[in-house]
Structure formats: structure tokens, C-alpha cells
Amino acid sequence: MNHSIDADDLLERFCRYVRLDTRSDPHSATCPSTPGQWDLLRLLESELKDIGAAEARLTSDGYVLATIPSTSNNNGIPRLAWFAHVDTATELPGGAKPIVHRKYDGKPIVLPDDITQQLTIETTPHLREKIGQDIITASGATLLGADDKSGVAVVMSAIRHLKNHPEIPHGIIRICFNPDEEIARGMTKLNLDELGADIGYTLDGEDLGAIDFETFSADAAVLEIRGVSIHPGLAKGVMVNALRLAGGFLSALPAEVSPERTSGRDGFIHPVELEGNADHCTVRLILRDFELNGLAAKRTAVERVVAGLRIVEPRAGFTLTFSEQYRNMRYWLENDMRPVEMAREAMRRAGLTPSSTAIRGGTDGSNLTARGLPCPNLFCGMREVHSRREWVSLQDMKKSAETLLHLAELWQEKTP
């Protein structure tokens, strides 16, 4: 069976996609949040039709869906869905000028539009392992956008290969390219009935051979503080300053339970926004932990600080509300590890050593898994994401696409 992906096609696709500026915008209320994302979504819809994918369509909310029909007589094979997001990180401009460093020679890579941006084997993790490979960077003025256009290009290349090689046996494969992952709204408008899949895989991971199936569990908290206003000239004994209370609240949070002082499996409480004036203000926080009891303890810690403030300043009003953001996908996957085991075996067949670490964040798959579609995250080659030094190896992207081919075949092979 031919599982060798066409590297030239993969590279051309990747460069075509990263040239489009698809940065998302958390302040926009639309879906997709930015018009640039439509350009890539429309391009993908038309390329899927050219490749010969079935049922290719772009929804009014900006999701590109398509089907690769089954090539097997077995109707019981779980339907797979492959996901990648079209938007790029909000903090840096998109619209890269991709530069291909063929057969990388190990010398420093200087990005021409900003020569202070350099990649060297001494300072860039994993670059040394890629000597001899084809490295792609941006020019220094933008991010590259390999997060997640390497995932998009990998999925497109794998589909094209399957269409050109119908002798590879597999079940139904659904494709979904979604907007707005970087602003945590990637899956909000996706209709899972319309998607029609049993197992999902996001192509949005970094380390070669990585399968992520454990993420943070995440809550948000909002504290509204109402003080007492009066002209400062008449304020003695009357004014209650909401901003001073907010300052007291922030300094009473446990400093060691913060993102800047934790790593590994430790969670944190993280104030992200303060807004308001002396009369009233709002503090927004995010709470993270791998375990639900750890997350509950963080809610309790915040509640305790607010309870203390209520005693100190009974004239002020405090309203504290929590909301659930996403949950560790391990809670669902550990009941049925086949989606993870199958991906591990597919990577071995692609010549890789699979590895898994608990990721200190969430993925589109966290949301999907909690909604009933088990969805681990697979590597697709991206490195140093959300930076001007972002890079990717063409050979790593090729391995990722070949993993998908083995994965499709494995689910067929292992279904009685």
C-alpha cells in the first residue's frame, strides 16, 4: 500500500494558506470573527471540490465540511472526523511571506524583515534534529501561521492521497475546518449531528509523535464590586472605593497559585482583566487544574478571599459568579482509550515514537469530547507557535499526513 505523501503538493498548499491573513479577533461578535478567515475557508471549500471530496460545503457560520466516502464493505467502521483551525493567534500579524530553507545546513537562520529574529541550533529547541530537512519560516514581520495551517495542509494532503489511492481501505472520513480556535470559540457553532462522526482528531499539536488526550479543566470567575460614591471633599467616613477593594482582592489571592509560578500538573488562579472606577469595578479571572477537585479548591480559595472582604467592608457589594469553560478530555477518554491507542499505533506504522503529555491549556477537542465526540489532538509539525520565529519542517508535516493514512486504515483493519 502506498502511504508516501506528495511533499511538493504539501509544501505548495502550506505556503498558499500561510500567505492569507486569518488572525482572529476576540473583540468581534461575528463568527468567524474576522473577514480574512472567509478567504481561506472559501479557498479550502473549492480545493476540496477539486480534489473530489464529497459533500464539500461552507456553512454560514464559517465551517468547511466534507466527506471522504468509505472504500470498505464493512459498514461498522467508526466514522472519523479530522479537524484543523484556519485562524491564527491574535497577538501578531498574519499574512506571512514564507521562506523555504531547503536541506537545512545547521547555520543560523536570520529572518530578513527583522534581523534580530534568528533561529540557531543552540537556542531553538529541536532545530538541531532537523538538519538536512526542509525548514519553513516567516520573514520576521509576521508569525508563520503553522498553528494551525500545518494542520490544514496535512489534512488536505491526506485527503488528496486517499482520493488518488482508493486501494487504501478505510471507513467514512469527515473533514471540518473551523474558525476562531485561538479565541476559544472554535466549536461553538458546530452542529455535531450535521458533522456525523464517531471519533474526532484535531491536528493542532507540536512535538513530533505527540498525542494529547489530557488538558486542563477550566472555569472562569467574575467578581463585581460596588462601592459607595460621594464627592471626595465630603468623603470622610462615607466613601467606599471599589478600586481599593479590587486591589485588596488581587493581593489576597494566593500568589504561588499563579501561571507565573506553576508548571507540570499544578493548576492556577489567574486574574486576566480589571475594569471600572472608584464606584464599581469588575475583575475577571480564569481558574485551571487537571483535576476537578483541584478546580473546586480554586473556586473555594477565591470565595474565601471575597468572604473576608465582605467582613472587612460590609457597606460594599460583592457579586462573585463562576462559569464552566471546558473539561479535561481524559475524563471521557480513559473510559475508552481506543482513539488514543489507534493513533499511537498509526504513528508507529509511520515510523514515529508516540508520546503524550498533559497540556496546560485546552483544545477544540476538549469541547468536542465533553459534547460526546472523543477527540484527542495529534502533532502536525508546528514549532515556536505564536511568535515571529515560528517554523515547521516539511518532513514532519509529511509524517503527520502519513499518520492520518495509517489511522484511517487501522480503524478499518481493527473493526470486525
Residues with catalytic roles? 87, 181
Supply 167's cell numbers.
486501494
Please provide the size of the chain in residues.
416
Q: At what angle do helices 394-413 and 7-18 cross, to 10 degrees?
A: 110
Q: Report in angstroms how near the CB of residue 177 gets to Zn ion at its nearest.
A: 12
Name the residue nearer to Zn ion (CB basis): 148 or 409: 148
Name the residue nearer to Zn ion (CB basis): 86 or 246: 86
The Cα 91–Cα 24 span in angstroms is: 9
Strands 377-379 and 199-205: parallel
Helix or strand holding residue 312 (H, E): helix 292-312
Name the residue nearer to Zn ion (CB basis): 166 or 361: 361
Residue 240 forms beta bridges with which residues?
Answer: 228
Contact 114, 165 (CB under 8 A): no
Q: Minimal CB distance to Zn ion: which residue? A: 148
Strands 280-289 and 199-205: unpaired
Strands 211-212 and 173-178: unpaired
Q: Report in angstroms how near the CB of residue 277 gets to Zn ion at its nearest.
A: 37
Backbone Cα Rg of the chain:
24
Q: Report in angstroms how near the CB of residue 34 gets to Zn ion at its nearest.
A: 16
3-state secondary structure of 202: strand
The Cα 232–Cα 238 span in angstroms is: 10
Which DSSP state fits 359? B
Supply 177's cell numbers.
475546518
Could you list the residues that contact Zn ion (CB under 5 A)? 147-148, 204
Residues in Cβ contact with 225 at an 8 Å cutoff, skipping those fewer than 6 apart:
242, 245, 246, 249, 276, 280, 281, 282, 283, 316, 317, 318
Name the residue nearer to Zn ion (CB basis): 151 or 171: 151
Our measurement of the distance from residue 97's CA atom to the centroid of its chain's CA atoms, rounded to an integer in Å, reads: 23
Which DSSP state fits 401? H
Q: Report in angstroms how near the CB of residue 179 gets to Zn ion at its nearest.
A: 12
Nearest to 328 by CA among 248, 217, 224, 203: 217
Q: Report in angstroms how near the CB of residue 385 gets to Zn ion at its nearest.
A: 7
Q: Report in angstroms how near the CB of residue 85 gets to Zn ion at its nearest.
A: 6
The Cα 296–Cα 284 span in angstroms is: 17
Name the residue nearer to Zn ion (CB basis): 84 or 285: 84
Name the residue nearer to Zn ion (CB basis): 95 or 276: 95
Name the residue nearer to Zn ion (CB basis): 253 or 401: 401
The Cα 124–Cα 210 span in angstroms is: 19
CB atoms under 10 Å from CB of 175, counted, come to 25
Q: Report in angstroms how near the CB of residue 50 gets to Zn ion at its nearest.
A: 26
Name the residue nearer to Zn ion (CB basis): 161 or 389: 389
Q: Report in angstroms how near the CB of residue 203 gets to Zn ion at its nearest.
A: 9
